[in-house]
């Protein structure tokens, strides 16, 4: 007991982040869950602990500082996992810069580990705003989607998928004055509360689904979304969104991966057995992949094969960049010209030439298609790394892209789309295909010019 009191005395002076977190946890949005501060568990003291959900919230200090501290944190993490405790870790700065995300993440984890029964709000006029917030113009007695309202909470809950969205009552102004004498200020919604509702609104925005069965999930990955997580936000990566969609009781595996800005077909194995079988199929090179690419310039040959080995670009400032080099790994890419077209730009008199290519990579090297097309003088439109200036990529990752640089890129993402995957699966040839996103099709078909693409 003396050790506990001494530890608590050492932590008497709270940081601003701990005070803010404790205020959030006592707030009524988490009123169904009871948290304790500095809860002792074995030899550990947990900053904030919910016994019901076996959930611990820690601030700062993870993977930071002296290596001995990192080793201690890793050992502590193993101990908590052995006791059935899930730990959520946040940087202090996240409580200011990503306040809403932190709240979302905590509530999502609580409901997944200890779901609470929810009252029926469908008769109370609950509405949902387009960005999750309720619309102040909503009418509790009725109303149609639009004008800031995504739709009324569904009369019948879908029990298959659950997503977390913010709900609130939209109440009329309480003034007893006649309508013509009431103040002109806008209606105000009550303070939002957190509830779980059906995933129809939220889940539709996760990703387009091409095919789903008990073992496979085939997705049309949007451009600009990384495959593997780089942040704590589950929504920021494809595998994170897959886990939200399937639930954390499953262990999904990405069978194939695409670059951040490449859109198209991605196959997910819902379990380790399926992932292992698909991995063996990939190793035998029995999978055929088709891509669509929009490149600079007009490719004269209707068909061509690029056979050039690839290796690390030692002259580049970008660590991940590769290039064509004689001592590299063998790589082979085949292409066909689908169409050639021009795009006018208001900044120049002469229209710019472009080509739409159908590309089949016969090997699976990193950035293979982008490097090979740039090697023959036709880089992919919008490619920041393998275009004419790699500083565009450095400016992008450092968040300092100027308007002039964006205009040079023409498109916000590089124009490469994985259109089709063909593979043998369980005794038959399976084909999974996905059309490119509207901005890609519009640019290739002539309904989007180079300036409006910005």
In tens, the pLDDT along 16-51 reads 888 888 888 876 556 678 888 888 888 788 888 988
pLDDT at residue number 123: 34
Q: In degrees, to the nearest 5, what angle opens at C-alpha 337 toward C-alphas 334 and 339?
A: 160
Tell me which of 289 and 6 has the higher pLDDT. Answer: 289
The residue behind tokens 């991995």 is 279
Q: Report yes or no on whether pTM surpasses 0.85.
A: no
* 149 touches 130 (CB < 8 A): yes
Give the pLDDT confidence of 392-434 residue by residue, as tens digits.
999 888 888 898 898 889 999 999 999 999 999 988 999 999 9
Domain with CATH 3.40.960.10 in the chain: 2-113
Give the pLDDT confidence of 138-180 residue by residue, as tens digits.
333 333 333 333 333 333 333 323 333 333 333 333 333 344 4
Tell me which of 148 and 445 has the higher pLDDT. Answer: 445
Residue 215 burial (C-beta neighbours within 10 Å; 0-12, 13-18, 19+): middle
Mean pLDDT over 338-358 rounds to 83
Beta carbons within 10 angstroms of residue 388's beta carbon: 11
pLDDT at residue number 155: 30
* 426 touches 413 (CB < 8 A): no
Residue 1 burial (C-beta neighbours within 10 Å; 0-12, 13-18, 19+): exposed
Q: In degrees, to the nearest 5, what angle opens at C-alpha 239 toward C-alphas 318 and 105?
A: 105
Any idea which fold 206-284 has?
Answer: Pseudouridine synthase (3.30.2350)
Give the pLDDT confidence of 362-373 residue by residue, as tens digits.
999 999 999 999
Give the pLDDT confidence of 374-392 residue by residue, as tens digits.
999 999 999 999 998 888 9
Residue 68 confidence class, pLDDT cut points 50, 70, 90: low
Q: 252: which 2 tokens?
A: 């999904």
pLDDT at residue number 107: 80
Q: What is the 3-state secondary structure (H, E, C) of the chain?
A: CHHHHHHHHHCCCCCHHHHHHHHHHHCHHHCCCCEEEEEEECCEEEEEEECCCCEEEEECCCCCCCHHHHHHHHHHHHHHHHCCCEEEEECCCHHHHCHHHHHHHHHHHHHHHCCCCCCCCCCCCEEEECCCCCCCCCECCECCCECCEEEECCCCCCCCCEEEEEEEECCCCCCCCCHHHCCCCCCCCCCCEEEEEECHHHHCCCCCEEEECCCEEEEEECCCCECCCCCCCHHHEHHHHHHHHHCCCCCCEECCCCCCCCEEEEEEECCHHHHHHHHHHHHCCCCEEEEEEEEECCCCCCEEEEECCEEECCCCCCCCCEEECCCCECCEEEEEEEEEEEECCCCCCCCEEEEEEEEEECCCCCCHHHHHHHHCCCCECCCCCCCCCCHHHHHHHCCCCCHHHHHHHCCCCCCEEEEEEEEEECCEEEEEECCCCHHHHHHHHCCCCCCCCC
pLDDT at residue number 454: 53
Give the pLDDT confidence of 186-212 residue by residue, as tens digits.
333 333 333 333 333 345 568 889 999
In angstroms and rounded to an integer, the radius of gyration of the C-alpha atoms of the chain is 27
Mean pLDDT over 78-94 rounds to 83
Phi-psi label, residue 51: left if phi above 0, alpha if psi -120 to 50, beta otherwise: alpha
Residue 250 has pLDDT above 90, yes or no: no
Which of 47, 259, 313, 322 is catalytic? The answer is: 259
Q: 4: which 2 tokens?
A: 């506990």
Residue 305 has pLDDT above 60, yes or no: yes
Q: 350: which 2 tokens?
A: 């002469």
Domain with CATH 3.30.2350.10 in the chain: 206-284, 287-454
Q: 109: which 2 tokens?
A: 């984890």
Beta carbons within 10 angstroms of residue 317's beta carbon: 10
Residue 277 has pLDDT above 50, yes or no: yes
pLDDT at residue number 69: 64
Residue 184 has pLDDT above 80, yes or no: no
Tell me which of 100 and 304 has the higher pLDDT. Answer: 304
* 80 touches 56 (CB < 8 A): yes
Residue 327 has pLDDT above 70, yes or no: yes
Tell me which of 123 and 304 has the higher pLDDT. Answer: 304
Residue 70 has pLDDT above 80, yes or no: no
pLDDT at residue number 130: 34
Q: What is the CATH number of domain 287-454?
A: 3.30.2350.10
Give the pLDDT confidence of 97-137 residue by residue, as tens digits.
777 778 878 887 887 888 876 544 333 333 333 333 333 33
The residue behind tokens 């005395």 is 9
Residue 244 confidence class, pLDDT cut points 50, 70, 90: confident
pLDDT at residue number 80: 85
To which CATH superfamily is domain 2-113 assigned?
VSR Endonuclease (3.40.960.10)
pLDDT at residue number 178: 40
- The alpha carbon dihedral of 287, 293, 295, 300 has a sign of positive
Q: Please say if 403 is a catalytic residue.
A: no
């Amino acid at each position: 007991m003396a050790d506990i009191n001494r530890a608590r005395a050492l932590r008497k002076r709270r940081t601003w982040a701990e005070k803010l977190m404790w205020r959030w946890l006592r707030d009524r949005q988490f009123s169904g869950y009871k948290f304790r501060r500095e809860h002792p568990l074995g030899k550990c003291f947990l900053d904030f602990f919910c016994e019901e959900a076996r959930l611990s919230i820690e601030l700062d200090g993870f993977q930071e500082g002296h290596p001995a501290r990192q080793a201690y944190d890793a050992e502590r993490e193993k101990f908590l996992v052995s006791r059935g405790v899930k730990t959520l870790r946040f940087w202090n700065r996240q409580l200011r810069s990503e306040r809403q995300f932190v709240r979302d993440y905590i509530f999502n984890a609580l409901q997944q580990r200890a779901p609470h029964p929810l009252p029926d709000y469908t008769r109370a006029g609950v509405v949902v705003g387009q960005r999750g917030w309720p619309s102040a113009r909503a009418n509790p007695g009725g109303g149609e989607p639009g004008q800031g309202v995504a739709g009324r909470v569904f009369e019948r809950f879908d029990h298959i998928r659950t997503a977390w969205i913010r709900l609130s009552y939209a109440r009329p102004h309480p003034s007893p004055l006649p309508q013509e004498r009431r103040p002109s200020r806008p209606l105000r919604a009550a303070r939002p509360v957190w509830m779980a509702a059906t995933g129809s609104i939220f889940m539709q925005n996760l990703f387009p689904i091409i095919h789903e069965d008990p073992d496979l999930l085939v997705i049309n990955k949007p451009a600009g979304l990384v495959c593997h997580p780089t942040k704590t936000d589950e929504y920021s990566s494809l595998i994170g969104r897959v886990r939200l969609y399937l639930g954390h009781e499953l262990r999904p595996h990405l069978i194939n991966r695409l670059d951040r800005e490449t859109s198209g077909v991605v196959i997910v194995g819902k379990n380790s057995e399926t992932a292992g079988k698909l991995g063996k199929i990939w190793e035998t090179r029995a999978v055929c992949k088709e891509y669509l690419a929009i490149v600079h310039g007009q490719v004269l040959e209707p068909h061509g094969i690029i056979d050039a080995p690839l290796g690390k670009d030692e002259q580049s400032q970008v660590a991940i960049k590769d290039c064509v080099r004689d001592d590299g790994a063998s790589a082979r890419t085949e292409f066909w010209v689908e169409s050639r077209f021009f795009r006018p730009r208001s900044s120049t008199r002469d229209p710019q030439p472009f080509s739409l290519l159908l590309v089949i990579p016969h090997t699976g090297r990193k950035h293979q298609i982008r490097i090979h097309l740039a090697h023959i003088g036709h880089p992919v439109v919008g490619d920041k790394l393998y275009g004419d200036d790699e500083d565009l990529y450095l400016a992008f990752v450092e968040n300092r892209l100027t308007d002039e640089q964006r205009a040079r890129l023409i498109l916000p993402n590089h124009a490469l789309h994985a259109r089709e995957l063909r593979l043998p699966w369980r005794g038959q040839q399976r084909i999974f295909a996905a059309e490119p996103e509207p901005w890609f099709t519009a640019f290739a078909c002539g309904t989007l010019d180079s300036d409006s693409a910005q």
